[in-house]
Amino acid sequence: MLLGVNVDHVATVREARKDIEPDPVKAAALAISGGADGITIHLREDRRHIQDRDLKLMRKLVSSVELNLEMAATDEMVSIALKVRPDMVTLVPEKRAELTTEGGLDLKKGGKKIKKAIDAIQKKGIPVSLFINPSSADIEMSKELGAKMVEIHTGLYSNAKGKKQMTELKRVQKAVKSALDVGLLVNAGHGLNYINVKKIAAIKGLRGLYIGHSIIAMSVYTGMEKAVSEMKRLIS
C-alpha cells in the first residue's frame, strides 16, 4: 500500500510569516528519505500555502516517487497541471473560508466542469482521481465522468468515536469495494493519524493512503524522516 505524504502544512507555517522557511520542497525530500511513496501538494486558488514556485521545484525534485497535485477543477488549475505534468491529479472541492477540505466533491452539481477537467488532463496521459465521500452514488458518477481512480474521504471516520467510528469505517469499507467492483483504483485519506490508520490500512484493495497533518505534526517532535517511517510501519 502506497503512502502519499502531503506537505501543505509546512508551507502553511512558512506563509504565516511570508518567509522562505520551512521549505515544503526540503520537507518532501526528507519524507522520501523516510519511505514516502509519493508527495502530495494542494495548489489552492488563493495560494494560501503552496505557491507556484513550490510546484515547479517539486516537479524537479520528485522523480523517484509519485507527485500528486490536488487542485480545483478550474481552467487556471488545469492549465497549470498540463504545463507542470504531475504524475497524477486529484480534483478536490475548495471553499475560501474553510480551514481544510470539508468533504468530497459535489459531483452532481459540478459534474460538467469536473468532466471537462478530467478529459483535458487525462488526454495528456495524466491520471485523474476524484476526492469523494464514501457513497455508492458518488462512485458510480465518478466512473461515468471518466476518472481513473477515486480517493475516499475518511474525515467522518477519523473524527468519530466508539460505535459511530465503526459505522463510518463500514461506510468506507463498502465504498472501497464498490469502487473496485466498477474498475476504479481506490485511495483513501483525510484526518488519518497514528491511532486510527490501522483499520483503514487493513481494507483490502486500497491502492494508497494520503496523509498530511498528522505526519507534519509528528515531525515537529521527531523529524520528518522518522515521522514518515513510523507511519509506513503502521500501514505495513
Would you tell me how many other CB atoms lie within 10 Å of the CB of residue 19? 10
What's the CA angle centered on 157, arms 155 and 158, to 5 degrees? Answer: 65
pLDDT, residue 125, reads 97
Query: Could you give the count of Cα atoms lying within 13 Å of 232 in the half-sphere of its Cβ?
Result: 18
Q: What is the pLDDT of residue 99?
A: 58
CA–CA gap between residue 222 and residue 180 (Å, rounded): 36
Question: How would you label 86-117 residue by residue, b for 16+ Cβ within 10 Å and e otherwise?
Answer: bbbbbbbbbeeeeeebebbbebeebeeebbeb
Choosing from 9, 42, 49, 153, the catalytic residue is 42
Q: 136, 104 in Cβ contact below 8 A?
A: no
Evaluate whether 76 touches 54 at the Cβ level (below 8 Å): no
Q: Are 139 and 184 in contact (CB under 8 A)?
A: yes
- pLDDT for res 101: 64
Domain that holds residue 13: 2-235
Residue corresponding to grid cell 470539508 = 102
H or E element at residue 227: helix 224-235
Domains contained in the chain, number: 1
Q: Which of 139, 126, 35, 161 is nearest to 117 (CA)?
A: 126
70 in active site: yes
Question: Which H or E run contains 75?
Answer: helix 75-84
Q: Which of 9, 49, 153, 190 is catalytic?
A: 190
The pLDDT tens digits along the chain (236 residues) read: 999 999 999 999 999 999 999 999 999 999 999 999 999 999 999 999 999 999 999 999 999 999 999 999 999 999 999 999 999 999 999 876 655 666 899 999 999 999 999 999 999 999 999 999 999 999 999 999 999 999 999 999 999 999 999 999 999 999 999 999 999 999 999 999 999 999 999 999 999 999 999 999 999 999 999 999 999 999 99
Dihedral pair phi/psi, residue 39, rounded to 5°? -120, 135
Q: What is the per-residue pLDDT for 94? A: 84
Catalytic residue among 70, 94, 151, 168: 70
pLDDT at 103: 84
The domain that holds 13 is classified in CATH as 3.20.20.70
